[in-house]
Chains A and B, each alone.
Chain A
Amino acid sequence: MRRREFWMLIGPSVLVMFGLLVVPLIRTVQWSFQQVSYGTPGTFVGLSNYTQALTDPRFGRAVFFTVFLTLVVTAIMLVVGYLVAIGVNNLTRLRPYILGAMLVAYVLPGVVGAVSFSWLFDQNFGGVLNLLIERLTGQSFLWFTDTWPNRVMVVAHTVWHLLPFAVLMILAGVQGVPNELREAARIDGANSWKMHVYVIIPTMRGIIGFVCLITIMDVLRTFDSLIPLSPQADAIGNESIMFYVFDTAFRDGSQQLGLGSAVNVLSIILILICLFPFIRDLLKEAKAKA
């Protein structure tokens, strides 16, 4: 390919990425060292925004909750996603319909799905699941105002929303495992458990890494679902980092754009730390294939 053709093909993507990713990133870093209001040039305040964020107990609670949610959801996604994918793989005619139905949860706008999900637990709007759980356990739960019941509900919603993606990816991975490998394992006397642990899962390690990568990125950005699911998130310690940024920087006409930017920079660092092992593995794998 000639150099000119190369730049003609890649140019538009580079421009879009520069305009929508690089420029906002540079501006966010710049604002994180400034006091900024809408429409006015910022004033340099050094590390003041970072100090304010890092000494705010509310930010600490938001980081804890976000990391907790990410770890729990990612673990559940991998286990349940794998089990469902194996189950779906064994289906025949029903398979496309089950997959299509599952995808509805994934393509629904986050806040719409979250509102519907919250009604399952809200006595005021029927609360079918709440009623069922009360009947089964003989206990009543304050799903929206007690910290742990609320966490359970938020985790359940996040898994419900993201699971179809994990299932689809893992299913593709399972179907990509060569039959020769399975047959060889069977001849060597591998039972079903060993087949999964020593043959199928190691073969699709790259796909599992990719599912982890996307899930971690998605859950670390949790924001709009908390509006219906955790209406007093701050008071019960179930506020996500992105919710904290919105509340600090924009809500009710707030104009702390500098502080919001500093928290965003800290979030980017946290995301990179969480993703580092997966990015490193993906790069290694790509290098090995090359």
Chain B
Amino acid sequence: MRIHTHVRNGVAAMAITATLVGLTACGAGSRTNEGATEVECDYTMPEADTTVNVLAYNSSAIDPFTDTMVASCTRDNVTLLHDPIDFSGQVTKTTATLAGDTGTYDIIETYGFAVPEIASAGSIEPLDDFVTEYSEKYDLDALDEGMRSALSYDGQLYALPMQAQMYIMAYREDVFEDLGLEAPTSFEDMIDAAEVIREQGDIEYPIAMPWSATADISTNYQAAMNSEGADFISEDGEAQFTTEESRTALEGMKSLLPYMDPQVTTFDQPSVQQQMFNGSAAMAVMFSGRMNDLTLETNSALFEDFAFAAPPKVGAESPYLFSRLSVDGWAIPANTQLDKDMLFQMMASAVGEDASTAAVPAAYPAREGIVTDDSSRYAVAANNTIAETMPAPNHPASAAVTNAIRPVLVQVLLGQTDVDAGMQQMQDLADAAIDGL
């Protein structure tokens, strides 16, 4: 019966481990809104018990808005529910909930890249009438015009902007000062600085960027094209991958590779943060939502040595910065069965002044005047970046085109495909994606 003893002990070990794993998981994905800012959420109370399901990914920039909405708008007959989820999960669930006559969610977090596709399909509600009706009550005129434009399609607003992210460059001020270097303003400057830093000997790969082959790399390519004044898809709906701007962007990105970790195509934003925390990189460009972590003592002994600047341009004469403006906002699914007026007022409450103020410095709220130069160590960089980022309204085919070209882009950057051949392949794939819409 020896095996019975083994099984008993094994089961005991499994039970203890499963309990520990379970407890850890509970801590990681809590529904609690403890510490959320309370604001007035003044909607007409429905007579029946009502549950409002909210879909929003968890991040330090989005959580303050979600927590404010859930904590402030849950009362009497109405309960708001929000389950923890990551960005990738939100994208998948958004697609599923917006399909068909009914969906799981009543309020969804969305972003400028996705709005044209789901708005053109009639999957989310236009909000202009609500904005007109409630503009004064919720001071909606204070929401940045550019961010409202980023969440509009065909002249109508489809999501109420809450916050935006833009690229920011973080660099090691101590290293730059010791070597007499200035914050780079072009890719060429970055390379010059990287060579000096490498010669000094401590940092072999001074440049860090999130070029993950399954996600971020296409956003970086788009930012590089934007710096040259072009986008993946032109205003008249034509793919732009065989243009000179596309070539300059690709060659600019390839020129940085020798100064980046050889495994950079597996690096997402947390990996780049980790490079900065470790001191294995001296300069990094990524979205502003990741910058607050660099300023926290709990994350790195180097936290005081990081300085922040607007990202460089691809070329010294490029018209715009190497940056993307990604605007997040709240939208109402067209297939929700709940009162849309009530849902709009919940969303408007969550982008109010108090909620927006509480979101700083983790977020850059859409409400004007909230982020001043003193708001955070990277506020000046954020304000400067917004001023010089190419306004790039998205196209309904943007997501499909981006997914289609990404594998070829990786091959081009890794040197597996020639630049010219890669540009043509991406053009063909993009044309097919646009035609298939």
Q: Which residues of A contact B (CB under 8 A)?
A: 37-40, 95-97, 99-101, 103-104, 106-109, 112, 123-125, 142-145, 168, 171-172, 175-176, 231-232, 234-235, 250-255
Q: Per-residue CB proximity of B263-291 to A under 8 Å, as 1/0?
A: 10111100100110010100000000000
Q: Per-residue CB proximity of B7-40 to A under 8 Å, as 1/0?
A: 0011011100110010000000000000000000
Q: Using a Cβ–Cβ cut-off of 8 Å, how many residues does chain B contribute to the interface with A?
A: 46
A231 to B268, CA, bound (A): 9
B residues less than 8 Å from A101 (CB atoms): 13
Shortest beta-carbon contacts, A-B, top 9: A39-B100, A39-B99, A100-B13, A38-B99, A96-B9, A232-B213, A231-B266, A253-B95, A144-B266
In the assembled complex, the CB of A235 is this many whole angstroms from the nearest CB of chain B, namely 5
A residues less than 8 Å from B275 (CB atoms): 124
- Given contacts A100-B13, A109-B21, A175-B2, whether A144 and B263 have CB atoms under 8 Å apart is yes
Contact of A96 among B6, B14, B265 (CB under 8 A): B6
A-B contact pairs, 7 of them (CB 8 A): A97-B9, A99-B9, A108-B17, A123-B280, A124-B280, A171-B3, A235-B414
Q: Which among B133-141, B168-176, B403-411 touches the partner chain?
A: B403-411
Contact of A40 among B3, B100, B278 (CB under 8 A): B100
Chain B residue nearest in CB terms to A88: B6
B residues less than 8 Å from A168 (CB atoms): 6, 10
Query: Which chain B residues (310-333) contact chain A, with CB distance < 8 Å?
Result: none
In the assembled complex, the CB of B285 is this many whole angstroms from the nearest CB of chain A, namely 17
A103 to B15, CA, bound (A): 10
Instruction: Output the residue of A143, A171, A251 with the most chain B CB within 10 A.
Output: A251
B residues less than 8 Å from A95 (CB atoms): 6
Q: Does B51 count as interface, using CB distance less than 8 angstroms?
A: no
A195 to B21, CA, bound (A): 42
In the assembled complex, the CB of B276 is this many whole angstroms from the nearest CB of chain A, namely 10
Pair B213/A100 contact, Cβ less than 8 Å = no
A71 to B95, CA, bound (A): 37
- Given contacts A144-B263, A145-B266, whether A253 and B6 have CB atoms under 8 Å apart is no
Pair A99/B10 contact, Cβ less than 8 Å = yes
A residues less than 8 Å from B12 (CB atoms): 100
- Given contacts A100-B12, A231-B212, whether A107 and B17 have CB atoms under 8 Å apart is yes
Pair B262/A104 contact, Cβ less than 8 Å = no
B residues less than 8 Å from A176 (CB atoms): 3
- Given contacts A38-B100, A39-B101, whether A252 and B411 have CB atoms under 8 Å apart is no
Contact of B99 among A37, A96, A235 (CB under 8 A): A37
B residues less than 8 Å from A142 (CB atoms): 262-263
In the assembled complex, the CB of A100 is this many whole angstroms from the nearest CB of chain B, namely 3
Instruction: Output the residue of A39, A144, A168, A176 with the most chain B CB within 10 A.
Output: A39
A residues less than 8 Å from B263 (CB atoms): 142-145
- Given contacts A103-B17, A108-B21, A232-B410, whether A254 and B403 have CB atoms under 8 Å apart is yes
In the assembled complex, the CB of B151 is this many whole angstroms from the nearest CB of chain A, namely 17
Contact of A255 among B95, B101, B265, B266 (CB under 8 A): B95
Pair A253/B91 contact, Cβ less than 8 Å = yes
A residues less than 8 Å from B96 (CB atoms): 38-39
Instruction: Output the residue of B12, B266, B267, B407 with the most chain A CB within 10 A.
Output: B266
- Given contacts A100-B9, A124-B271, A235-B265, whether A253 and B14 have CB atoms under 8 Å apart is no
Pair B214/A231 contact, Cβ less than 8 Å = yes
B residues less than 8 Å from A171 (CB atoms): 3, 6
Pair B411/A235 contact, Cβ less than 8 Å = yes
Q: Does B132 count as interface, using CB distance less than 8 angstroms?
A: no
A109 to B271, CA, bound (A): 22
Chain B residue nearest in CB terms to A168: B10
A144 to B18, CA, bound (A): 29
Q: Per-residue CB proximity of B287-316 to A under 8 Å, as 1/0?
A: 000000000000000000000000000000
Pair B94/A253 contact, Cβ less than 8 Å = yes
Q: Does B92 count as interface, using CB distance less than 8 angstroms?
A: yes
Q: Does B44 count as interface, using CB distance less than 8 angstroms?
A: no
A171 to B17, CA, bound (A): 22
Contact of B274 among A124, A143, A254 (CB under 8 A): A124
